């Protein structure tokens, strides 16, 4: 009886260790660090060839769209314009509200040697929607009408 119990305990420990290692590997492979362009450049070597997230502004005059190849290239710059990162967004449609100077969120793999992100996800933000919402809050005294 004691021998059977020992086998069950050993099998349970092996199973628990295997599951723990799968969780650790899964979290490590799917987790991404978030950067601004200047922070990304500062940590370039430690995130080389890893998945990252960057947000900033679309650098003016950097956008090139090839509709035949469905390839969008542009640069993301930080708010003060001191640092920028090049982006390639291929095999996908260009977002409708994508424009120079607009806010953008990019997710993809970073190549430190070329200072370039091969994007797998691209989101733009429409500043005019947020400005209108802020104006409405100011006019109503900072309250939300749905709270009544």
Burial 80-101 (b: 16+ CB within 10 A, else e): eeebbbbbbbeeeebeeebeee
Scan for tokens 């509709």, then name that residue.
67
Residue 26 lies in a domain: no
Number of independent structural domains in the chain: 1
Domain coverage including residue 44: 31-133
pLDDT for res 139: 47
Residue 45 lies in a domain: yes
Residue 41 lies in a domain: yes
Residue 1 lies in a domain: no
CA 142 to chain centre: 31
Residue 16 lies in a domain: no
Q: Which CATH number covers residue 124?
A: 2.40.50.140
The answer to whether the beta carbons of residues 77 and 69 sit under 8 Å apart is: no
For residue 42, the surrounding DSSP H or E stretch is helix 37-42
Residue 87 lies in a domain: yes
Residue 101 lies in a domain: yes
**DSSP one-letter code for 146:** G
pLDDT tens across the length of the chain (148 residues): 688 899 999 999 999 999 988 888 777 666 678 899 999 999 999 999 999 999 999 999 999 999 999 999 999 999 888 899 999 999 888 888 899 999 999 999 999 999 999 999 999 876 555 454 444 444 444 444 444 3
pLDDT for res 33: 87
Residue 43 lies in a domain: yes
pLDDT for res 95: 86
């Amino acid at each position: 009886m004691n021998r059977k119990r020992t086998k069950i305990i050993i099998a349970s420990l092996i199973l628990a260790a295997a599951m723990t290692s799968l969780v650790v590997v899964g979290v490590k492979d799917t987790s991404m660090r978030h950067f601004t362009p200047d922070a990304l450049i500062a940590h370039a070597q430690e995130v080389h060839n890893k998945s990252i997230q960057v947000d900033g502004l679309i650098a003016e005059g950097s956008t090139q769209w090839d509709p035949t190849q469905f390839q969008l290239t542009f640069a993301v710059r930080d708010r003060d314009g001191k640092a920028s990162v090049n982006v390639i967004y291929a095999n996908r449609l260009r977002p409708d509200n994508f424009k120079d100077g607009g806010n953008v969120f990019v997710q993809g793999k970073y190549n430190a040697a070329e200072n370039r992100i091969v994007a797998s996800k691209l989101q733009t933000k429409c500043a005019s929607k947020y400005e209108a919402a802020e104006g409405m809050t100011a006019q109503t005294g900072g309250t939300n009408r749905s709270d009544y």
